[in-house]
Amino acid sequence: MSITRRTVIGVLVGAAALVAVRPALVRVRAAGQDQPPNRREFTVTAKEFHFTPARIEVGRNDLVKLTVRSEDGAYSLTIDAYRISKKVPAGGSTTFEFLADRAGTFPYYSNLTSDSRHSQMRGELVVHAQ
């Protein structure tokens, strides 16, 4: 009978300790969680083999939404560092999102080869470390 009583008391003491400590553990975990990313939206216009704007600046861990709009022919927008390559139809647009999860300056360009002037289409994505 004393073993059972000791076991019950041990279980109750352990449960009480867990109940007392658990709120503190929850607070610590909640404080350490990442904030939701800032959402940044940009429209890049492709026209006459140029991107406007030619520079986009965001913070690290921003959620970036890009709309690429063509005002004449077909283009693409490629950012190698983020493994992004999107085609933009003539007179149309393409929208996509990505998480800017590393700081640095990353070129973007049109990778189409239908006209040699695509190679002059350059811009840069600047991701600040914050």
User: pLDDT tens-digit profile of 40-78?
Assistant: 999 999 999 999 999 999 999 999 999 999 999 999 999
Banded pLDDT at 25 (limits 50, 70, 90): very low
* Rounded distance between C-alpha atoms, residue 21 and residue 29, angstroms: 13
Is the model's pLDDT at 1 over the cut of 90?
no
Query: In this predicted structure, what is the pLDDT of residue 35?
Result: 73
Task: Provide mean pLDDT across the span 101-112.
Answer: 97
Q: For residue 55, what are its two tokens?
A: 């520079």
Is the model's pLDDT at 22 over the cut of 60?
no
Window from 20-24, 53-57, 124-128 with minimum mean pLDDT: 20-24
The pLDDT > 70 percentage for the chain reads 74
Q: For residue 70, what are its two tokens?
A: 């063509």
For the segment 86-97, what is each residue's pLDDT rounded down to a tens digit? Answer: 999 999 999 999
- The Cβ of residue 111 has, within 10 Å, a number of other Cβ atoms equal to 16
CA angle 52, 54, 60 (to 5 degrees): 120
